[in-house]
Amino acid sequence: MECRDAGRGEVGADSPRWLVKSIDYKSATEIWEVDEPILLAAARLKARFRISLADALIAAFAKRSSAILVHKDPEYEALADQVRQEALPYK
């Protein structure tokens, strides 16, 4: 994979703004599917907390997988007692 700065032509991941030139999408794997239990869990979260539907779906998947939700989104703070999470520093 090669990265180039969008404005300066610098190469490297530590350039300030870089674009991915090539990604091997053949190795990508679908890791989840939205099924009825996930939709219902997301709907419950959405109804109970002030979060977007997309955030509710992500949280529902994390909860079902017993995963730690790593994020930079303050909306997830309301779900602290629902989903294990690790908040990254906000901007």
Write down the pLDDT at residue 57: 94
Domain that holds residue 64: 35-91
- Within-domain flag for 63: yes
**pLDDT interval class at 42 (50, 70, 90):** very high
- Within-domain flag for 65: yes
Tokens at residue 44, please? 């419950």
Domain count, the chain: 1
> Any idea what DSSP says for residue 11?
B
Q: How much of the chain, in percent, has pLDDT values that exceed 90?
A: 53
**pLDDT interval class at 34 (50, 70, 90):** confident
pTM: 0.63
- Backbone CA torsion sign across 50, 53, 58, 61: positive
Q: How much of the chain, in percent, has pLDDT values that exceed 70?
A: 65
Question: Of 69, 66, 89, whose CA–CA distance to 79 is shortest?
Answer: 69
